[in-house]
Amino acid sequence: MTDFDITLCHIDAIDHESAKGFDINGISLFAVKRDGQLSVFLNSCPHLGIPLEFEEDKFLDSENFYIMCSTHGALFQTEDGTCVYGPCQGKKLSAIAFTLVDQHILIASRQLVSS
C-alpha cells in the first residue's frame, strides 16, 4: 500500500520546459518540468491566493524560465517555488510531494485536504 494514491499523468504528457495544470476534486495544482527536474505545486499565488495562470497550462514566463503569476507578474523558481520578484518576494508556492511509478506522476490525496 502506498500513500501516493492519485495519478496525475505520464511524465511524457508534460513537455520539457513547460507545465501542466490539474484539477483534483476541486483543488487546482500543476506540475512543471524544467532542466530535467519535475516539481508539483498548488495553483495558488501566495500574494492573493488566486490561480497563477491566465490561459490553460500557461504557468511559465515567456522564456520558460520562471513560474509566473499572470495577475501581477510575480516570478517563482521552478525547483522550489520561491518568489524572486513581485509582491510576495521571499514567500513560496505550496509544494506537493510526488513520486514516479512506471513514469507516472503520483501524489498523495492527503495533501489535498483543505484546511
65 falls within a domain: yes
pLDDT at 115: 45
Cell of 22: 490539474
The domain containing residue 21 runs over which residues?
Answer: 6-108
Q: How confident is the model at residue 1 (pLDDT cuts 50, 70, 90)?
A: very low
pLDDT digits (tens, 9 = 90+) for 45-101: 999 899 999 899 999 999 999 999 999 899 999 999 999 999 999 999 999 999 999
6-10, strands of its sheet edge to edge:
6-10, 104-107, 98-101
20 falls within a domain: yes
CATH number at residue 62: 2.102.10.10
1 falls within a domain: no
Please count the helices (runs of H) and the strands (runs of E) in the chain: 0, 9
Q: How many domains does the chain have?
A: 1
